[in-house]
Amino acid sequence: MGPVMLDVHGTSLSQEDKEILQHPLVGGLIFFTRNYQSPEQIADLSQQIRIAAKKPILIAVDHEGGRVQRFRDGFSLLPAMGKLWKMSEQNLTLAKELAKQSAILMALEVQAVGIDISFAPVLDINNISDVIGDRGFHQQPDHVTELAEAFIDGLHQVGMKATGKHFPGHGSVKADSHIDLPIDTRSKADIFQQDLVPFQQLISRGKVDALMPAHVIFPDVDSQAVGFSHYWLQNILRDQLGFNGVIFSDDLSMQGAASVGGYIERAEAAQAAGCDMLLLCNNRDGCVDVLDNANISISSVGAQRLNMLLTKADSKWSSLKNNSTWQHASQSLNKYR
């Protein structure tokens, strides 16, 4: 499986899309709201992508709940994970159950339209970041761990792998890495004792299948943004924390990635730092430039890791609402809205 995850512009495939999907370096595709019209249409598009690629391809979406939910009309509307604590009236046991049922509902629906993974859960602290905010489960790291673990257990129950983001934590810096390069000037000790805690705890429990690093610079740790930092991804994440799963780059078109240069430089730097899959979104010319000219390669180890994320689920949207697990998850959440 190749190391590039890209996007397509519309609700069906163009001839250029079909040709690009067959490129040896392309191993994944991510959906956005613009790709969606209905559950039946997105299921057909997923199938057409797999046919066009003529190889295994990982299909993903950001479908966390709250304001980050790409498919709405026809799908269950999921609460933001930061709302679960209030919905449960600060009852941790109930909040964990709501997190688990949210994950089950999301995963069953996403898988039923041919998608392998949703990039979730968010493990960032719900602190001062506008772009994170109520996407994070809680302000307390230990509560984030407990609620995220319940969410992950829900994913795993129905066959979806979990992607934690944004390592080692985006919640304690104000700037939005979509439009800026956030710099978190706290000490290494503060970061490790606060934001890193949910990542460390969930990795040690063997819960996290994949991680996505933040486009954030922590100067007291390294001068490079995390997704381009060999020190963060290899010395800390792989060696110190013992993480053996997939590392996705965050979208390399974001302004937070611009510090290392153009698209080619970003892709090369992210792979050199240790990212197994590079997200190249919302810039077709830049993506084609990377595929044609970047010095990146297919890693056998990375490909093995990525293959583990492909779903084994074989459900269909037409029969989903007869599924007792889906019914229970839907009823559980509706009861507390």
Each residue of 308-317: pLDDT tens digit?
Answer: 999 988 889 9
Q: How far apart are the first and last CA of the chain?
A: 41
Contacts of 14 (CB under 8 A, 6+ apart): 8
Chain centroid, CA 237 distance in Å: 17
**CB within 8 A of 78, min separation 6: which ones?**
63, 64, 65, 66, 69, 102, 105, 106, 333
In 3D space, the residue among 286, 276, 219 whose CA is nearest the CA of residue 252 turns out to be 286
What pairing do the DSSP bridges indicate for beta strands 278-279 and 210-213? unpaired
Residue 177 has pLDDT above 60, yes or no: no
List the structure tokens of 249: 């780059």
Residues in the annotated binding site for substrate: 62, 70, 135, 165-166
Token pair of 209, please? 């299948």
285 is catalytic: no
Given 7, 250, 251, 276, the catalytic residue:
250
- φ, ψ of residue 283 to 5 degrees: the values are -160, 85
Counting the structural domains of the chain, the total is 1
Asked whether residue 174 carries a pLDDT value surpassing 90, the answer given is no
- List residues forming the annotated binding site: 62, 70, 135, 165-166
Classify burial at 185, counting beta carbons within 10 Å of its beta carbon; exposed 0-12, middle 13-18, buried 19 or more: exposed
| Least confident stretch, 102-106, 180-184, 293-297, 331-335 | 180-184
For position 178, what pLDDT does the model report? 59
* Closest alpha carbon to 186 in 198, 164, 211, 169: 169
Is 250 among the residues known to form the active site? yes
Mean pLDDT for the stretch of residues 244-252: 93
Q: Which residue has the tokens 């613009």?
A: 34
pLDDT digits 0-9 by tens, 287-313: 999 999 999 999 999 999 999 999 988
Q: What is the pTM of this model?
A: 0.95
Catalytic residue from among 178, 220, 239, 328? 178
Identify the domain containing residue 75 by its residue range.
4-334
Q: Identify the pLDDT of residue 180.
A: 67
Question: Residue 272: which CATH number?
Answer: 3.20.20.300
